[in-house]
Each structure stands twice: as C-alpha cells, then as structure tokens.
Chain A
Amino acid sequence: MDFVLIQLLNGLASASALFLVAAGLSLIFGVTRIVNFAHGTLFMLGAFVAYSLSQRLGFWAAVPVAALAVAAVGALMEVGLLRRLYRAPELLQLLATFAVVLVLDDLILMAWGPADVLGPRAPGLAGAVRVLGQPIPAYELFLVAVGPAVLAVVWLLLTRTRFGILVRAATLDREMVAALGVDQKRLFTAVFALGALLAGLGGALQVPRQAIHHGLDLEVIVEAFVVVVVGGLGSVPGAYLAAVLIAELNAFGIVLFPQGTLVLMFLVMAAVLVLRPQGLLGRPETPEPRPAAAEPAPAPSGRAGLVLAILAVGGVAAAPLLLGGYGQGILAEILLFALLAASLQFVTGQGGMVSFGHAAWFGVGAYAAAMLHTRLDAGMAVSLLAAPLAAAAAALAVAWFLVRLSGVYLAMLTLAVAQILYAATFQWYEVTGGDNGILGVWPSGWAAGATGFLYLSLGLCAPALAALWWATRTPFGFGLRAGRDSPLRAEAAGVPVRRQRWLGFSLAAAAAGLAGGLYAYLKGSVFPDALGIPVSVDALVMMLLGGIHSFGGAIAGAVAYKLAQVTLISATDFWRLGVGMLILVLVLAFPQGLAGAAGRLAALRHRGGKAA
C-alpha cells in the first residue's frame, strides 16, 4: 500500500512537468489554430537559459527570468513570422514553426556548445522528505504542487479576466470575435507569449531534475502533443487531467510491464481518440466554416501539366547521360520521396485528412519488402509488389477508425498509429530485427547499378504518380474533395464520404508503401526510423513547401527540400540552420507554396501578355 501511495506521488510530479509544456501548446492551438511544432524548442531554450542564469542569479531568480525571456522569443516569433501567415493555407504555420525548430536548434548549439550541462539542485529543496518512511525528493513534492498551482492561475486568468474571456471566445469562434471588433493581432501575440512563457517555465523547472541537452525539444514535443490531444484541444484543465492520467499509467505501468515504455503513451492516445474523439475535456469540434473558393476545381484538361510531366520523365530518363552514380542515386531518392509527398498530398490536400504519421505506410512498405527479400528470398519483383499491398492492407484496417475523426484529432490518431507501429518494429526483435534493422536488401540483376535502379524507380514512381493524379480527376476524386469541402452537403448529395475517405486513405498508403519498398532497396537496409516521426515530418514539409492544394506542388516540394538538404548536409555543419532559413524565406515569400507561386507567376505573365 505504501508503495502505491508513493508511486502515486511520483506520478503526480511527472504529471506537473508534462502539464506545463502541454498547457501552453493547448492554449496556443485553441486560439490561433497553430500546431506549434517549436513548442519543445521553446521548452529547451527555457532550460538552457535558466541553467546559465542560475549560475549568476541563483536558481529561484533564474526561473521567472528564463520564462519571461522565452515569452519574449515567443512573442517575437508571432509578430515576425506567424502573423504574416494567418491567411495562408492551413498547416503552413506548422511548416514555419518547423523551420523555427531547425534554426533555434543550431543557434542553441552555437550558444551553449554540444555538451550536456547539469544545473544546480534547487536551493532549499535539495534534500528529501520522508513520506510514509520513504525518502521523497523535496523538489518532486514542490513539482506536485506546481502543476495545480499553474492550473489555478491559468484558470483564473481565463475565467476571471477580460483577456481570458476574449481567449475563450476566440477558442470557440474567432471570426465572431474579430467581427465584434477585438484586435486579433494583439490577442494572438499575447496568447502566443503566454504559451511560450509556460513552455519556458516548464523547461526552467527541469533544471534541478536532469542534465540539459540538445535532444530535449523532440523528446518533449511529442509527449506534449499527446497530452494536449488526450486532454482535449484548447482545454487547459483537460491537459492537466491527461498529464496526470499518462504519468500515473506510466508510473504503475513500468512496474507491471517494464518493456512497455515506448508504446504506452500512444496506446492511451489511440484508445482515447477512438472512444472519445474530442479528448477527455474537449468539446466536439464544430465544423469549421471553410473560406469560400479556397481552391478552384482542377482544370479539366491540364495540358500544361501533361507536357511538364512528360518533360520531367524524359529528363529523368536522360539523367544518366549527365550524372554519375551518386547523382543518379540522389535522383532515385528524390523520385521516391516525390511519390511519398504526393501520396500525402492526396490524403491531406485532396482528401482533407491531415496525416502526421504518413511514415507508417512508408515504413510498412519498406519492412514488407525487406522481410520478403531476406527471410523468404522472394526476389525483388515480388517484394516490390508486396510493399504497396502490405501498406494498403494495414491502412485499410487502420483507416476504418481514422475516417471517423476529422481535423487535428485525425492527424493525431495517424501519429499514434505510426508510433505504435514504430514501437512494434523496434521491440519485436524476432520478426523485425528490432532497432538493428534488416540488412542486405540490395537490388539484384539489372537494377543493381545506379542507372538500373534509377530506371526501376522511374518505372514504378512515374506510373504510381500518374495513377494518383488520375484518381483525383475521376468521380471518386471529385467525391473525395466534396467530402473535404463540405461533408454535410456531400452526404446529402449521395457521396458516401466515409467510404471515399477510407478508400482514398488506403490508396495513398499503397503509394507510400511502394515508395518505402524502393527506399529499402535504395539503402540496402531498413530500420525502425523508416516509420519514425522525422520521416513523417519530412513528408509534411515537402508537401507544404510545394503548396498543400497542388498535386504537382508536392513533387516540386520534394525536389526542392531533398536537394536543399543534400547539398547543405554535405557543405556545412550547420545545415539545419541553412534548411530552416531557406524554409522561412520560402514560406514568407510564397505562402501558397512553390506551386502557388508558379501559378501566380503564370497568371501575371498571362495578364502582362494580354496588356501588351
């Protein structure tokens, strides 16, 4: 019994730490609808700043100063960057915050150096207090109290002040708030700063608990997302409840299933999303009024597109005349990532289903091919055929649950699915080889050389891309878009929206799986990171860079992003800074994505030609 009580306390301390990051993220999302990918980085910045300040000011003075400093950075981010993007297509802000992650990561590395740093223990709370005869660190008990205290302050702020009323109103219906004459800009900046403050505070309070290091941001951001979604987006009390639930499940889970540490949190999230999609304390999402004429229907002929596609295929086919083995390898990699990005565009842009876990299908395809190749000696043709089939089969099973959700909840369930599959490949050593992966998946025969493999990739990716594109022009594709733009009207018109989405999602998964199968043969080995969050993020970045509503844009985005990455990695240590700055410039200059920019340019030239 004593053990249970003590472990309960331990869980509450961990819950407070989780809550502080999640609360800010939830607030920001609730009001601005921005998925702030940089929230973990703000947390890490808070920890590093507090570490440095505590050398001079002492720990307790350093905490508020660090939190305020991070709030200032947050405000700057909103004013300098995000404010310019509120009119851009949804999710572009996500891309912008991702670029901020890359930039801040390298800046923090430059400022604080590579080593882990261990700050002081909290003065006055360094020792232990005996609870039921067991020594508990005093600082942990302090943290147990901090969570509810911050919750109370935020709750009072939200319910008892004018600012809070505006925030809650904006969370419910920001168009209405704007129509009533509230200055949205100031409101958004203030909310963003408040969210950043909480992240900074959370980071600063970690200093006495652990060494501060450069991987903190990614560790924290995923956990924070999970807490926010489980609690209900925009609900601060929900975030606390979810943090307590997850921390306590973890505290007791590790006693019963010590090996379950990788997957537990995502199982909770998946269960909550399936059973109660709006999260524990969230409100069911009101169907958001979409801006009218967000995107013109695709032109019926698209002859320019066809010419472009033929030229691109011809160009790739002629590439071996120009490029050496390495260049051809890069081109093959670009091709398969273009397929991945286009398949994501198909679900997200055409289908309106944002996926944060698209790597799942890429990874399933890669593993299916690798396992058939090495375990069953199936040969390359069979393995590559199996890759899309396996991905589609897995997606058919999963998407049945997915299509019942919408918006960010759907996105987070895709993330949960991807993470659960990731954990399974990571730990199921007998089947998947665990994190040591599967080696020796090299192409054979005519495809073994760089040129052969390039033609193989072209021969598979080009038809797959064409098929996806063709699907967008069929009645099926139009139905999918109808379901995206107005599910109610589409249903009324007789479009089976859920079934369309279900099949659309699985079709895209098949394409991603094919890309994954090719990836396995390109690299010669597969590891669980093929299903990892970075691959999902890469796919998102490529798609958003190109322009979310353009099929060709996803391809252009894949080409641009891969080339930038490849050249910068080989050229500089600070490639993240370079890639991040490049994305920022592109996002600010072309908020409609590369394809949108190309379209606008064409329109301008068209008009100019007429005038002349």
Chain B
Amino acid sequence: MFLRWLLGAVAAAVGLVGVAQASEPVRIGEINSYSSIPAFTLPYRNGWRLAVEEINAAGGVLDGRPLEVISRDDGGKPGEAVRLANELVQREGVDLLAGTFLSHVGLAVADYAKQRQVLFVASEPLTDALTWSQGNRYTFRLRPSTYMQAAMLAEEAAKLPATRWVTVAPNYEYGQSAVEIFKALLSEKRPDVEFVGEQWPALFKLDAGPTVQALARAEPDAIFNVTFASDLSKFVREGETRGLFEGRPVVSLLTGEPEYLDPLGAETPEGWIVTGYPWYAIDTPEHRAFVERYQARFGEPPAMGTVVGYNTILAIAAAVEAAGGTDTEALVEAMKDLRFDTPIGPITFRAADHQSTMGAWVGRTAVRDGRGVMVDWRYVDGSEVLPPPEEARAMRPE
C-alpha cells in the first residue's frame, strides 16, 4: 500500500511528461530567491515581466516566436536552485536558464549549466568568481560585479584627502572581496593610504552600537562601507546619533540603489559616495520612456532590480535573434561580444570573460522632499573599470 501510494504520489508530483514539444515559444527557465530576498527580487521580476510583455506585443523574436518565462523560487538555497534548474531543463524543456541573485546560488546554477551544457544568463549575482576564477563557457553575467562596483568607488575614494581608512563589511564572500578589491585599488592609486581598522559583522546581525564604537576608536579619516539592507539602516542610525560620520567621508557600496536607499527615507545620510541607480534623474528619452511604461504597468517606481530584470530579457532576445534559433552552442557563440540596446544605453557581453559592460551610477547621497536620492552622479560604463580582456581571460580556468 505504501509503495502504491509512493509511486502514485511520485507520478502525480513529477508527472509523466517526457520531452517538452519543440513548439513555437522560446522558453526561458528563470530561477531567483523570491521568497527569501523579496525586497530585491520582486522589482526584478516586474522588470523581466515588462520586457516579456513588450517583446511579445511587438511580435516576439525571430519570425514571430513569443518569449515564455517559466519562473521558480529557489528559497535562497543552492541545492534547491540546482534541482529547479534540472526541472526546468529536463521536464519543462527550456532553451536556456536565467536569473539568480545570491552569489553561491549563481555559482551552483552556473556549474549545473556547465555540466549540462545549457546557456545560463546570470542576471544578478555579484561574485567575481562567476566570470573569473570559476568562469565557464555556458555562463554569462549581466550585473556589474563586485570588482567593478568596488573599482568605481576606489577611483572616487582616491580623490579624497583622507589617508586613515576603516572598513565595515558583512562577513561573507561578497563583503570580503569588496574590501579586498577596494583596499588593493585604493592603495595602488594612493600609496600614502593606510587601513587602520575593520569590522566584519555577520550578515543581517550587525550589532550596531559596539560596531560603530569600535570603528570610531580607530580615529579614521574616512569609512568604506559594504553593509546593506537592514544592517545599513542600523549602521546609519547608530552612526549618525553617535557622530561617527561627522567630518568623515563615507564611501558605500550599492547604497544608492533604490532597494537600499528608499527604506532610509529622510534619514539618508548626506554626502556619502555611493554606487546606485538614480532613476528619477536619468533624463535620456529611452530611459524616461522606460520609467513611464514601467510605472503605468506596475504603479511603482523602478528599482535597480527592475533594470536588471528588464535587461536580462533584452539580452536573451538579442542573443536568440543573433543565433537565429535556440541551439545552445549557437546561443553561446552569439552571446560573445553581443551588443544590444537597453533603456540605459548599449551593453556588450565581453567575449573574454562573459561579463557584460552594464555599468552603474556613481554619485553622492542627499535628501530631497523627505527621501534619499543620488546627486552629482555620473554613469560609469562597465568597460571603464573592467581589467583588459587578456588579463580577464587569464583569470578563467578554461
């Protein structure tokens, strides 16, 4: 009885579906951490939804093939993500994989893609390993990496007179790499700089009072911050009240992204040098139209994730057009040096390291009408901060 129940349940759950029919739509298998990191991934999902709707309304890709996205929630677990990738590839018969936010989830899916020889367009994970030390033929990454974002900020930091720096970063790979890269690049430009203290709070467990006190004790001239989300809000409140930021420039990774800036509202610290996305101020006609369409569709302003999600679909559509179909090897070749237009300007996937040249906006934080914004910003294209192709290629295992 148990067996029958077991088999019945397995059959019901897994279905007896064999190979998906190679019917018309281009099927994209999408995986992201929707339930565990909703603040970033839900705007991202709206972004790709808008792109899919627009492309399909305009007649799809190639000779009228619509895009179809089959989306799954990995719950923030790499093991789940691999299982879902397998479901999407083997059961749903998708033509390629896309998505992921967390670095380790991205790496797990990338390794699956390498093993199964499926194209994987990694939209959001930041780790440099994804395109460099663990790079593989089938994986391409859209969002600017930890290295690129840290390099943008190191350039700005070098212009400051400060010589005594402290760092505060979450205690995991992203925080560690960001600090390491920032230190190396800043020291290169400014040999007189010294790092006099560091704090490594566990992710989302920043004990703000003691951490701020420990940083202040080092009497730094300037601070490099990598904490984000709820850690950031704790750090800002404690730091402001305790006067940590008085007379000290703060250079802060990702803080200008609406996902992290909006919750700070009127308490956004003034004058921090940040990377982010000032959607309210980017005045190109393409971008303005994009924001209008997005707001009309979803009734909310775009966030960084929105642009990443939207551009992910644009990249995939462009690759399918260039490849003339959905054959994986043709798609991989098409992705190399693929150049496509987006609301924020043209982007290229570098053939050397499979990293896109999508950049970020570097500016200073300010408060306008009770909310946090970026001012004095400029767009830094990814190609300006990436190492030259030969150097990047040398870091890859293949």
Contact = CB atoms under 8 A, between A and B. Distances in A.
Interface of A: 3, 6-7, 10-11, 13-14, 109, 114-118, 121, 126-128, 134-137, 140, 208-216, 219, 223, 247, 250-252, 254-255, 258-259, 261-262, 308, 311-312, 314-315, 319, 322-327, 329-331, 333-334, 426-427, 429, 434-437, 439-440, 442, 450, 519, 523-525, 527, 529-530, 534, 552, 556, 559-560, 563, 566-567, 569-570, 573, 575-576, 598
Given A211-B263, A262-B171, A519-B79, 13 more contacts: A7-B213, A250-B207, A258-B198, A319-B7, A329-B83, A330-B13, A436-B129, A437-B108, A440-B111, A525-B108, A530-B79, A556-B2, A573-B34
A14 B83 contact: no
A214 B171 CA distance: 20
Contact of A259 (B6, B79, B171): B171
A524 B104 CA distance: 13
A260 to B, nearest CB: 8
11 contacts: A13-B209, A14-B209, A114-B42, A116-B229, A135-B241, A258-B198, A325-B86, A326-B14, A436-B104, A570-B87, A575-B35
Given A255-B214, A312-B2, A213 B230 contact: yes
A548 to B, nearest CB: 18
A109 B38 CA distance: 9
A312 B6 contact: yes
Interface residues of B, number: 81
A330 B202 CA distance: 34
Contact of B207 (A251, A312, A529): A251
B260 to A, nearest CB: 8
Contact of A525 (B78, B200, B233, B234): B78
Contacts of B79: 519, 523, 527, 529-530
A330 B230 contact: no
Contacts of B80: 569
Contacts of B17: 324
Interface string B311-345: 00000000000000000000000000000000000
Given A118-B267, A563-B10, A14 B241 contact: no
Contacts of A552: 2
Nearest to A14: B207
B217 A3 contact: yes
Contacts of A524: 82, 108, 111-112, 115
B172 interface: yes
Contacts of B19: 324
A215 B241 CA distance: 25
A330 B103 contact: no
Contact of B172 (A308, A435, A442): A435
Nearest to A12: B209
Interface string B69-96: 0001101011110111011001100000
Given A215-B230, A254-B207, A527-B78, A116 B108 contact: no
Nearest to A448: B115
Given A437-B78, A569-B73, A136 B207 contact: no
A559 B7 CA distance: 10
Contact of B35 (A140, A247, A442, A573): A573
A11 B87 contact: no
Given A14-B207, A115-B263, A211 B241 contact: no
B6 A116 contact: no
Contact of B18 (A116, A135, A324, A426): A324
B9 interface: yes
B213 A10 contact: yes
Contacts of B238: 137
B157 interface: no
Nearest to B267: A118
> Which 5 pairs show the lowest CB-CB distances between chains A and B?
A114-B38, A10-B209, A327-B14, A211-B233, A251-B210
Given A211-B233, A211-B263, A324-B91, A128 B34 contact: no
B213 A6 contact: yes
Contacts of A429: 176
A322 B7 CA distance: 9
Contacts of B129: 436
B354 to A, nearest CB: 16
B46 to A, nearest CB: 11
A254 B7 contact: no
A333 B83 contact: yes
Interface of B: 2-3, 6-7, 9-11, 13-19, 34-36, 38-39, 42, 72-73, 75, 77-80, 82-84, 86-87, 90-91, 103-104, 107-108, 110-112, 114-115, 127, 129, 134, 171-173, 176, 198-202, 204-205, 207-211, 213-214, 217, 229-230, 232-234, 237-238, 241-243, 259, 262-265, 267
Looking at B11, B16, B209, the one whose CB has the most chain A CB atoms below 10 A away is B209
Contacts of B200: 254, 258-259, 261
A135 B129 CA distance: 42
Contacts of A213: 39, 204, 229-230
Contacts of A3: 213, 217
Nearest to B35: A576
B370 to A, nearest CB: 12
A308 B233 contact: no
A212 B90 CA distance: 39
Contacts of B77: 529, 534
Contacts of A563: 9-10, 13
Contacts of A109: 35, 38
Contact of B104 (A126, A437, A534): A437
A559 B12 CA distance: 13
B202 to A, nearest CB: 4
Contacts of A140: 209
Looking at A6, A7, A439, A440, the one whose CB has the most chain B CB atoms below 10 A away is A439
Given A209-B234, A569-B80, A134 B242 contact: yes
Given A254-B214, A324-B90, A330 B83 contact: yes
Contact of A570 (B84, B134, B173): B84
B104 A435 contact: yes
B171 A427 contact: yes
A118 B209 contact: no
A262 B202 CA distance: 6
B181 to A, nearest CB: 15
Given A116-B229, A327-B10, A435-B104, A311 B237 contact: no
Contact of A128 (B112, B241, B259): B241
Given A135-B241, A209-B234, A525-B108, A255 B217 contact: yes
Nearest to B174: A435
Contacts of A219: 204-205
A530 B108 CA distance: 13
Contacts of B233: 116, 118, 210-211
B223 to A, nearest CB: 14
A529 B91 CA distance: 26
B111 A525 contact: yes
A110 B358 CA distance: 33
B210 A250 contact: yes
Contact of A116 (B14, B72, B217, B230): B230
A512 B18 CA distance: 33
B208 A209 contact: yes
A114 B111 contact: no
Contacts of A331: 10
Contacts of A223: 205
A569 B39 contact: no
B78 A434 contact: no
A214 B35 CA distance: 9
B13 A211 contact: no
A326 B208 contact: no
A569 B107 contact: no
Nearest to A534: B77
A161 to B, nearest CB: 35
A308 B229 contact: no
B39 A261 contact: no
Contacts of B209: 10, 13-14, 137, 140, 251
